[in-house]
């Protein structure tokens, strides 16, 4: 059974250095879907007569973009979003660790995982790279629920065996064994993928880092996610814990963890040597502007990353970040760049959270675009979702301007619908699917 979607369709068919020039935009476009994947993309008029039996969904006047890819967030932190008064290290101790403790109860973990996925979909996110907690079952729960809708899910059990409360610690051995078991059970099963997840250098012993580095080498197609150079006190702490490392990145590098499968959250305070290493190893940055502002961490140097040839993706970092909205992350990235006198083009912003992220993660044949064979993961944006957006976004509709305005004005009902593998997982109340 084929499905035919109608709307104004915007995506990046290719990897590019200049997204502002390389978007494909089809007004009154049609996307033909079969078996959860894109079969054809063209004008609606050219497809509708050829596929008279297709189930039709009319999103005329709305903007259809690839489902957003959020490359860094913490599903167990959902309930502690927007907590007052602390910067990173105190915030971890005061709010994060006590919250993550609750996930020792798998029933609780499943309820929050369910809530979390719905938040993603209500915000147009269809791929996420999420941290679970130290508990193996927390990662399993997310894989299990994502599998029920055939969602592209990357997650992993957090590993930490020091400098956090006893009740939240694993060991070097158990971190290795639990992660290895999760890889065997879930990695590349359906659309699931595993990410080995040392929380950050301060919370892992040398033994644990070595074990996790070994695990990466044993599974070169598995991802790694961690935090890097987010906060000045954190950077100073790492320097005192690893006096022989030339910089923070070098701690990870010394365990073989800096690869093209490694996603480093934040990367605010990097020296030139670290930027070069990131570029040489094709490692990936998750730029988390809302978190960096909310926790007062600092400003990511997007222009430096571009100049050094380092791949940047965009992320919410819930719940260091104070919103699930990738559109708003894009708006906040613009502001972080403005503070450094850089203009982040809205099409470049969209690229960072669709095709650019897919390319960085090596999954651009699966997600991030509407090329034939990619999964039909998309979100439908309504430029006229309230009075203010109707006033601001009027004719003629330049898609870059629409996106730009939405990245600041976006609210929950900006997203009309979100689809995963050719099926709606969210539709705004009052809209037909």
Residues within window 182-221 making contact with ligand GUN, judged by CB under 6 A: 199-200
Binding mask 251-270 for Zn ion (x = CB under 5 A): --------------x-----
**Complete DSSP assignment for 79-132:** GG-S--S--HHHHIIIIIHHHHHGGGSHHHHHHHHHHHHHHHHHTTEEEEEEE-
Q: Which stretch binds ligand GUN (CB under 6 A): 16-24, 88-96, 190-198, 411-419?
A: 88-96
Does an H or E element contain 152, and which? strand 152-156
Token couple for 262: 């490694």
88 binds, among Zn ion, ligand GUN, none (CB under 5 to 8 A by kind): ligand GUN
Q: Binds 199, which of Zn ion, ligand GUN, none (CB < 5 to 8 A, cut-off by type)?
A: ligand GUN
Spatial strand order of the sheet with 378-381 comes to 37-43, 24-34, 2-11, 55-66, 378-381, 415-420, 423-427
| Residue of this chain nearest to ligand GUN (CB atom) | 320
Which residue do the tokens 């979702």 mark? 385
> For tokens 């539709």, what's the residue?
427
332: contact with ligand GUN by CB under 6 A: no
Q: Does 202 bind Zn ion (CB under 5 A)?
A: no
Contact call for residues 223 and 361 (beta carbons, < 8 A): yes
| 280: number of Cβ within 10 Å | 12
- The answer to whether residue 3 forms part of the interface with ligand GUN (CB under 6 A) is no
289 near ligand GUN, judged by CB under 6 A: no
Q: Does 92 bind ligand GUN (CB under 6 A)?
A: yes
User: Binding pattern to Zn ion, positions 303-332, x when CB under 5 A?
Assistant: --------------x---------------
Size of the site for ligand GUN (CB under 6 A): 11
Q: Is the Cβ of residue 86 or residue 214 nearer to ligand GUN in the bound state?
A: 86
For position 377 contacting Zn ion by CB under 5 A, the verdict is no
Exposure on the CB side of residue 331, measured as CA atoms within 13 A: 17
Q: Across the chain, which distance is largest between two alpha carbons, in Å?
A: 69
Among 254, 223, 224, residue whose Cα is nearest residue 238: 254
Name which of 292 and 414 has its Cβ closer to Zn ion: 292
Please report, as ranges, the residues that interact with ligand GUN according to CB under 6 A. Answer: 74, 88, 92, 96, 199-200, 227, 230, 291, 317, 320
């Amino acid at each position: 059974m084929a499905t035919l979607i109608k709307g104004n369709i915007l995506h990046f068919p290719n990897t590019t250095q200049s997204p502002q020039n390389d978007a494909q935009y089809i007004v009154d476009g049609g996307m033909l879907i079969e078996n959860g994947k894109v079969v054809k993309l063209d004008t609606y008029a050219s497809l509708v007569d050829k596929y008279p039996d297709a189930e039709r969904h009319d999103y005329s006047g709305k903007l259809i973009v690839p489902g957003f890819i959020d490359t860094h967030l913490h599903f167990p932190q959902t309930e502690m979003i927007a907590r007052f008064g602390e910067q990173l290290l105190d915030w971890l101790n005061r709010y994060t660790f006590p919250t993550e403790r609750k996930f020792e109860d798998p029933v609780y973990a499943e309820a929050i995982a369910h809530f979390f996925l719905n938040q993603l979909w209500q915000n147009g996110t269809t791929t996420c790279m999420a941290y679970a907690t130290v508990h193996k079952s927390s990662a399993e729960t997310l894989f299990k629920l994502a599998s029920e809708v055939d969602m592209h899910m990357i997650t992993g059990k957090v590993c930490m065996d020091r400098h956090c409360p006893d009740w939240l610690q694993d060991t070097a051995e158990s971190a290795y064994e639990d992660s290895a078991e999760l890889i065997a059970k879930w990695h590349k099963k359906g659309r699931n993928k595993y990410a080995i997840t040392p929380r950050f250098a301060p919370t892992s012993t040398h033994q644990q880092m070595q074990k996790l580095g070994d695990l990466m080498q044993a599974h070169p197609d598995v991802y790694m996610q961690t935090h890097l150079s987010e906060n000045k006190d954190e950077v100073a702490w790492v320097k005192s814990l690893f006096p022989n490392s030339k910089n923070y990145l070098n701690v990870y590098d010394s365990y073989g963890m800096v690869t093209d499968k490694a996603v480093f959250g934040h990367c605010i305070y990097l020296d030139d040597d670290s930027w070069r290493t990131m570029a040489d190893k094709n490692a990936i940055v998750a730029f988390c502007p809302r978190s960096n502002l909310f926790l007062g961490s600092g400003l990511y140097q997007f222009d430096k990353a571009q100049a050094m040839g380092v791949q940047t993706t965009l992320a919410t970092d819930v719940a260091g970040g104070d919103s699930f909205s990738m559109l708003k992350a894009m708006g906040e990235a613009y502001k972080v760049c403005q503070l450094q006198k850089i203009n982040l083009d809205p099409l470049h912003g969209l690229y960072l959270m669709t095709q650019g992220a897919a390319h960085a993660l090596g999954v651009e044949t699966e997600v991030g675009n509407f090329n034939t064979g990619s999964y039909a993961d998309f979100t439908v944006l309504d430029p006229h979702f309230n009075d203010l957006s109707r006033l601001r976004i009027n004719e003629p509709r330049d898609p870059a301007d629409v996106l730009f305005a939405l990245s600041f004005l976006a609210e929950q009902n900006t997203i009309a619908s979100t689809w995963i593998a050719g099926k709606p997982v969210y539709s705004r109340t009052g809209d037909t699917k």
